[in-house]
Each structure stands twice: as structure tokens, then as C-alpha cells.
Homo-oligomer: A and B are copies of this chain.
Amino acid sequence: MADETEAVDWMEVDHRVIYGDTDAMGVVYYGNYMRFLELARGALMRRLGKPYGEVEKMGLVIPVAEVGVKYIRPARYDDEIVIKIRVERLTGASIRFAYQLHRKESDELLATGFTRHAVLDGKTGRVVRIPDELVQVLGGRKE
């Protein structure tokens, strides 16, 4: 039987490294990868038909509760990088995205990472169950 969660394809977004992304070691600053992950999340939600702004209109906020990144090879100024994202896991009140970053030209793996997000009521700030509408958008199956 097919695992529906696994069936979710990676979605890709491109970014060309600017000086503002880099630091004096000559490579992208480790903290600026968080911008790249956010860029991919925003693009994924839009492509799934539910831009993050609409999630907020549903009365929800989905802040980052945890992040992890492994830096494998450095990215440099003007490198075109590909950020891949997919929904890795949906539980009752939490969403986990997985990421892979590659150098576009060589397809070298630059970094891998994940973010785990809490789903909160936008007014009370309390944890809520992910509404079915959002589960369907995210293409997953709640565990």
C-alpha cells in the first residue's frame, strides 16, 4: 500500500546568492539559510493554493517551533541554488517540512534541514488541531 505522505513530491524554488546573504568567510552566512527555507515554505504554500496570508485569515499562525540545518558544502556569491521542500510529517498540531539545498549548476548537495511548526490559534496563541482543510492542502495524512 502506498504511503501517501511519501507520495508528496519535492517542490523547488531557485535563489541566486547576493552579497547580503554572504559573510566575510566568503560563503553564505549560516543564519541566512533560514531565509532560504522560508522562501521555499512560502512558495510551497502558494503553489498548494493556500498562501500563508490565507492561513492567517483562517485564524491560524504557524510559527517555527524548531529548526535544524546540516551544512555540507558552502554556497558562494552569485551561486544559483535550488531549495527543495516537502511536507515530511503532519501530526495533530504540528507540521514538519524537509529541505534540501543544491547548487544548480553542479547539482551538489549544499545542505539539508527541517523545520517543525506549531499550529496556533491566531488570537489566543493556543495550540490547535490542524483543520482538515489545511491537512488536505498539505497533501498529507495526519498520523
A residues contacting B by CB (< 8 A) are 16, 18-20, 22-27, 29-35, 38-39, 42, 51-53, 61, 63-71, 74, 76-78
Contact = CB atoms under 8 A, between A and B. Distances in A.
Contact of A18 (B20, B39, B71): B39
A16 B42 contact: yes
A14 to B, nearest CB: 13
Contact of A24 (B16, B23, B51, B67): B23
A34 B34 contact: yes
A64 to B, nearest CB: 4
A61 B24 contact: no
A31 B18 CA distance: 12
28 contacts: A18-B42, A19-B24, A19-B25, A20-B29, A20-B31, A20-B38, A22-B23, A22-B24, A24-B26, A24-B27, A24-B77, A25-B61, A27-B63, A29-B34, A30-B63, A30-B64, A30-B67, A31-B31, A31-B35, A51-B78, A52-B77, A63-B74, A65-B70, A66-B70, A67-B68, A67-B71, A68-B68, A68-B69
Contacts of A30: 34, 63-64, 67
